[in-house]
Structure 1
Amino acid sequence: MKTTRILAFVALGFLLSGCNNDLELTAPWKDIPVVYGLINHQDTAHYIRVEKAFLDPETDAFTLAQIADSLYYDQAVVKLHDVKTGETWTLERVDGNLEGYVRQPGTFAQAPNYLYKIRGDVIDLQGGEELEFILERGDDSEPVTATTFVLEDMHFATGLPGDKLSFRYTSDTRVAWVPGPHAWVFDLLMYIHYRETDPDNPGNVLDKTVVWKVRKGIEREVSGGQPVSSVLVEFPGIEFYQFMANNIEANDAVVRTFKSIDLEVVGAGAEFRELLDISQANVGITGSQELPSYTNLSEGVGIFSSRIVLRKDGIVLTPESRDSLAQGIYTRKLNFQ
């Protein structure tokens, strides 16, 4: 039997990025469903990407990827099903390019950019609900299914953070939050806002933001077979100044003023934990050269899971940290006043 190499795309964002997986398959003339869906009950609309990787022994995979007709099912029906109540919703196929989600140039055809959509006020998801994804491909094949729990809201632990953040050269900064029972993996980010002013022209003001991915793929710990009630992240305070020095260019022609920090925690469901565990088990000197693929779909590749976002905006620095930003060894050339 002839072995054909195909290219399958799964946009695993975590919580916000994509990856390409080369898969070795031995069955010619077979389509492989490719699904990516991250449900967040906070969203005003929910989008799920459904595509196909079509195994063609005569055509190069990269050529097929540029042909829109090769990426999508003509007669697909995508549904979401509430496992507890039995209610089912059929999603609408839309062009993501027209919805504000333009597909970036690259391996795959940019237009159309079909996604399956349902408005949040129609489905009215609640944290803790078990939700099933169903793909009917429009032929006699079995439906493709996957289930996940809609993630519950999170909140920050008292005082972590407070209204002010402290970054010290010789000690750790601590952030803690309390997730719901179904959140297992987290990213911690900071959106750092500052202002640039031209001292020769004070009316020339420019507000800027740099995004610091403080920690990624933070796994929730387990104690006594149960997930711990809160997640605590500690990191050296000096990393803040090192990040600023590496991501803001020194410029004597401007005066900079620190404004505030928006702190964001992004949580994802158990499916992402399983994905990370599989990947990490094969990383290292003794790990295999190729990472195993993971999917929670009944057939195909991809992932159907849930995410949740927790934010605290407008956090300022302590006076000590503002002084360190202005005069410290890493950032004094950035001209923060």
Structure 2
Amino acid sequence: MRLIYCIALSIIIIFSSCETDFELNAPYKTTPIIYGLLDQSLDTQFIKINKSFLGNTNNADFAPINDCTQFDYLIAVLEERDQNNFLTGSDTLGEIMIGNLDEGIFYEDSQKIYFLETPNNYLNDDHIYKLKVNVPEKNLNFSAETELVNGAGLMFDFYTKITLQLNGFKCADNDLATTDEYLNTRLEWNTTLNGKRYELILRVHFIEYNLSGDTVSKFIEWDLGDKTSISTNGSEEMTKIISGKSFFDMIDSKLKNYNLEQEVEKRTFSSDAIEIILTAGSEDLNTYMQINEPVTNVVNERPIFTNVENGIGLFGSKFSKKLVTSMSDGTVLELCKGQTTSQYKFCCDSSEQIITISNLTGGVNVGCN
């Protein structure tokens, strides 16, 4: 009996001496975060520089608080070095607060962005750029560097350019009586130095006229996917076939759920309605995007990719080229009068194209009147 009493007393002492409170979080350490892509085709470069945050409750509650994610003061310098690593110039980035942000868990009213104005030919295709950041208050120094995607070497094939210039964007024939008679468009281009990932975007520009008398310039954007080059040395040939049927199905899918459709009187387009944007991304950008693609297997863990020294994030480069062209007579005819898209009130305001299509079709009117 005495033994049982001693054992029971020992258990009570052990458990009463244990603390019930414990810390799930390790001691907080500020981790700098950089996200930025240099693009010499733009007149201003924007870079996001943040810090990690840690709260004692749900971290999602702290994400909307700017003070938790932004440094009060820092010095960000972009250095330019030639191929021999000699410093050829440097610029200090400015800071601005930007608003009109997409909805999300972070602060939506405004966020701090760092920027550098880069007029035409300000950034050199052949040079290396290093971003160096100092946070005096916390004695933090972190950096990242990137080569530029060579803009001069990124180009559409000559045959692609001349075909679009002469024939326009051709997705359908000139006869409405032939069902499912769609035509495919072939795009070809050459890869460029330091480019690894190539993305194509197609935009259809139009003007929307409302019954209220308002007019709004709009565009429909179509993601045509991406391709990855074998190397970053450039001069590889790449091809993308754009399905004619998919073009009209895409327009239908973008507009069929437009909740203000009943207020639209008509939609018109100009001779430069089609914009094709080709963007080349650096190898680091490609690696980052591959790692963060949707998981398709049972392993949900992703490796962490960063090219930031003493921090995390991505500092890379990209470059964009675009082609602007008209829609062919057959494409206009199908857009305005075809079964898939005729309900969206597209009409042509080019008298020359209206007459041409009327002559080709025996009197079909694609005009707005």
Distance 1:117 1:206, change over 3 A: closer
Out of 334, 337, 343, the residue aligned to residue 324 of structure 1 is 334
What's the secondary structure of 1:165's corresponding residue?
A: coil
Separation of aligned partners in 2, 1:301 and 1:226 = 27
Greater helix share, 1 or 2?
Answer: 2
In the other structure, the counterpart of 2:227 is 219
Separation of aligned partners in 2, 1:110 and 1:312 = 34
Residues 245-260 of structure 1 mapped to structure 2, 5 A cutoff = 245-249=252-256, 254-259=265-270, 260=273
Whether 1:89 and 2:90 are equivalent positions in the alignment is: yes
Report deviation, 1:148. Answer: 1.1
Separation of aligned partners in 1, 2:170 and 2:326 = 9
Structure with greater Cα Rg: 2
In the alignment, is the contact (CA less than 8 A) between 1:220 and 1:231 conserved in 2? no
Report deviation, 1:3. Answer: 4.4
In the other structure, the counterpart of 2:363 is none
TM-score by length of 1: 0.77
Separation of aligned partners in 2, 1:116 and 1:255 = 42
Whether 1:76 and 2:98 are equivalent positions in the alignment is: no
TM-score by length of 2: 0.71
CA RMSD of aligned residues (A): 3.1
Whether 1:181 and 2:182 are equivalent positions in the alignment is: no
- Structure 2 unaligned runs (5+)? 1-21, 173-180, 347-365
Report deviation, 1:320. Answer: 1.7
AA matched with 2:317: S
Deviations, residues 44-80 of structure 1 (Å, cap 9, x unaligned): 2222111101234x24323332332222223422121
Identity %: 17
Deviations, residues 97-144 of structure 1 (Å, cap 9, x unaligned): 3xxx54445422356622222221599211132111222232676632
In the alignment, is the contact (CA less than 8 A) between 1:219 and 1:273 conserved in 2? no
In the other structure, the counterpart of 1:158 is 158
AA matched with 2:38: I
What's the secondary structure of 2:171's corresponding residue?
A: coil
Distance 1:278 1:252, change over 3 A: closer
Distance 1:226 1:207, change over 3 A: same
- Structure 1 unaligned runs (5+)? 5-26
In the alignment, is the contact (CA less than 8 A) between 2:288 and 2:314 conserved in 1? no
Separation of aligned partners in 2, 1:251 and 1:195 = 16
Separation of aligned partners in 2, 1:122 and 1:254 = 41
In the other structure, the counterpart of 1:13 is none
Report deviation, 1:283. Answer: 3.0
In the alignment, is the contact (CA less than 8 A) between 1:193 and 1:207 conserved in 2? no
Separation of aligned partners in 2, 1:253 and 1:38 = 38
What's the secondary structure of 2:159's corresponding residue?
A: coil
Out of 127, 130, 136, the residue aligned to residue 128 of structure 2 is 130
Separation of aligned partners in 2, 1:87 and 1:329 = 60
Distance 1:221 1:318, change over 3 A: same
Deviations, residues 262-285 of structure 1 (Å, cap 9, x unaligned): 2212222111211233345x732x
Distance 1:246 1:79, change over 3 A: same
Greater strand share, 1 or 2?
Answer: 1
Separation of aligned partners in 2, 1:322 and 1:43 = 32
What's the secondary structure of 1:265's corresponding residue?
A: strand
Distance 1:140 1:74, change over 3 A: closer
In the alignment, is the contact (CA less than 8 A) between 1:155 and 1:177 conserved in 2? yes
AA matched with 2:200: L
Separation of aligned partners in 1, 2:138 and 2:65 = 24
AA matched with 1:244: I
In the other structure, the counterpart of 1:63 is 61
Deviations, residues 201-228 of structure 1 (Å, cap 9, x unaligned): 8x94735423222323x133327x9555
In the alignment, is the contact (CA less than 8 A) between 1:128 and 1:182 conserved in 2? no
In the other structure, the counterpart of 1:334 is 344
Distance 1:283 1:142, change over 3 A: same
Separation of aligned partners in 2, 1:150 and 1:74 = 30
